[in-house]
Structure 1
Amino acid sequence: MAITSSTALAAIIDHTILRPDATEADVEQFCAEALQWNFAAVCVNPLYVPRVAATLRGSAVRACSVVGFPLGAAPTVLKRHEVEWVVAEGAAEVDMVISIGTLKSAGAGPIGEEVATLKAACGDARLKVILETALLTDEEIVAASLAAKAAGADFVKTSTAFTQKGATVEAVALMRRTVGPEMGVKASGGIRSFAEAMAMVAAGASRVGTSRGVALMREALFEG
């Protein structure tokens, strides 16, 4: 996709605050910033979904929650209950973490089954599937991306930012080649500058998750 203006960049940013020490005041600040800049979404831990959904209600900015975060190691039944709760509380987007150990030990089949279960639980909410690409081989990234696509996910996503490495241009490009043009690809984890965000977009990202959305926008305006 082409980013031709700061407005176009804002429209693909998930303004993300997932720090364990994030306070209610911090979350409110991120919501205010997202409304000011017209970001795509505010991404928070489940605890803050009701507050974020209420604050953003009536705007184009969507409330987004993570599920099975950050390790993906909860059983599907617990992830499904988590999805049901955050959607009921107002989340319009859900970013779930796959079980990386399951992928490595049993292949992509169980991953696809879990994604299908959680997609059904989402109702009208969008589902993004976090692969944690830094922990996967290229073959595993391809297999998991195809499984997520076949199961009806709306996006595949690179990373939680809670492991050894975040998004890379190479992983984003591989995911985009794998899922084709019709599915979303979200780059997330360690994206801290306008140049990094643009590199991810050039590689095929259609959404960028970052805690530095405001800084990116200020850089975009300066560059423009």
Structure 2
Amino acid sequence: MTTRYTDEEWTLIVRDAEARVNVPRQRFPYPGISRREFARLFDHTLLKPEASPKQIDQHCSEARQWGFSTVTVRAFYARRAIANLRGSAIRVASVVGFHARDEEQDLFKSLKEAHRAYAAGACEISLLLSSPLLHTQHYDAIYAVLAVLRSLCPRPVVLKLVLDTATLREADVVAACVLARASRFDMVEASGVAFDGREAVQASEYDIRLVKGCAVAAEEEELDWRGLDERKRRLGPGCEMGGGGSGGGHQRSDSGESHGSSSTSEQDEVGDGGYGLGGNDDWGLGQAFIHRVRHASQRASLQYRQKASSRTRPTDVKASGAIRNLGDAVRCLEAGATRLGTSSAVAIMKEAQERVDRVGDVDTWVKRGLERDMGWRNSRMTRYGANTPVDTREPALARRSSAGWYTDF
């Protein structure tokens, strides 16, 4: 299978993405939500290889009781989980690529495992991406695997790319997000769970924010590049990227095979993910054209922009790994995560319920969390004194504690 870019071209695309990504520093406020909506943020996970069928049944029963978003199990238990959850709104998710150490990961075996889970009826599939493969910058091979997986498991199946962020550099995380977006994956998961014998750690807030920044940058650029494609069509074939001649393609230096200007069905399906290149554009020769028409592309009609934006879905951010209590969950959500994967979802929900039952302790807990995380303990005590009355609290804190999800349980 030939892919649209060489490793060198992918490297240029990744560098361009790095220049555009801004790691958000603000906290992402999660809205006031009910107990049911809070439970829908969790993927109830059981990935132990030694898990028994009885444990799978119990896991599904807990998911029914609390109303979690998914039950995440290994592929060989997907069919059993589906049978347990039949008739409910809870989806079954499966993981692939977790069967070996990172350096021994067999991507072809992962593809077969993913197809087996899809055939069993899994609605969401998570692929663990090998860290050594990212370190060596074999982007061409990675993209080929991700694109094949997307074709094997078409939408509405949700595909997640799992990154062991504890072993990745910042550039590797950006590259993985670029490849996931280009391959039309639905979610990138920042995980501290190690499957090579190391102790599991929680994904850092910075890693979650970095993945969130990549997703935001891609969404911001999506309309501009869709407008660029429209501008190219209006200008005609003589203005296509790729330099001299009407071919407009680029040469693969390793094989000499020429890729023409007409797009294939695979390219239409997988696309460029909003990272700045069309299916057959030569990055080096197309720079002048990009700068010349980019401003004009921003003036595309609102109708076209709305139509273009509907062709893709935003890349969500999931956090997993050592999320064991309510404080861990809140920190991940405020860092930008939209989904949480943990085997402690039941314990977290019970802790949240207990804190809401003790009404007097809710404000204290929220207040302490904000003071620690936002660093305004000293300034607040200076302004209001050590014993601050309830009426003089920060307005944002008062609104949050009165209208947040805590009081809706």
Note if contact 2:42-2:69 (Cα within 8 Å) is conserved in structure 1. yes
Q: Of 95, 119, 144, which aligns to 1:88? A: 119
Q: Deviations over 1:121-153 (max 9, x none)?
A: 112311000111110011111111111111110
CA apart distance, 1:166? 3.2
2:57 matched to which residue of 1?
Answer: 28
CA apart distance, 1:24? 1.0
- TM (norm. structure 2) is 0.52
Asked if 1:185 corresponds to 2:213, the answer is no
Alignment of 1:102-117 (within 5 A): 102-117=133-148
Unmatched segments (≥5 aa) in structure 2: 1-28, 220-313, 356-405
The range that moved more, 88-97 or 111-120, is 111-120
Q: Deviations over 1:58-110 (max 9, x none)?
A: 21111111001154543332222111111111111001111211111124343
Asked if 1:44 corresponds to 2:80, the answer is no
1:134 matched to which residue of 2?
Answer: 166
Q: Which amino acid aligns with 2:149?
A: L
Note if contact 1:156-1:175 (Cα within 8 Å) is conserved in structure 2. yes
Unmatched segments (≥5 aa) in structure 1: none
Q: Which amino acid aligns with 1:204?
A: G
Q: Distance in 1 between matches of 2:202 and 2:138?
A: 23
Q: Give the number of the structure whose residues are more often strand, by fraction.
A: 1
Q: Distance in 2 between matches of 1:161 and 1:3?
A: 28
What secondary structure does 2:188 align onto? strand
Q: Which amino acid aligns with 2:73?
A: V
- TM (norm. structure 1) is 0.93
What secondary structure does 1:158 align onto? strand
CA apart distance, 1:160? 6.3
Note if contact 2:129-2:162 (Cα within 8 Å) is conserved in structure 1. yes
Note if contact 1:3-1:9 (Cα within 8 Å) is conserved in structure 2. no
The range that moved more, 54-63 or 160-169, is 160-169
Note if contact 1:79-1:118 (Cα within 8 Å) is conserved in structure 2. no
2:204 matched to which residue of 1?
Answer: 168
What secondary structure does 1:190 align onto? coil
Q: Of 140, 144, 153, which aligns to 1:122? A: 153
Note if contact 1:130-1:160 (Cα within 8 Å) is conserved in structure 2. no
**Aligned pair count?**
224
Q: Deviations over 1:166-223 (max 9, x none)?
A: 3121111110011126211110000001111111111111110000111111122233
Q: Distance in 1 between matches of 2:31 and 2:75?
A: 31
- CA spacing shift, 1:112–1:160, aligned 2, 3 Å: farther
Q: Percent identity?
A: 35
Q: Distance in 2 between matches of 1:107 and 1:3?
A: 40
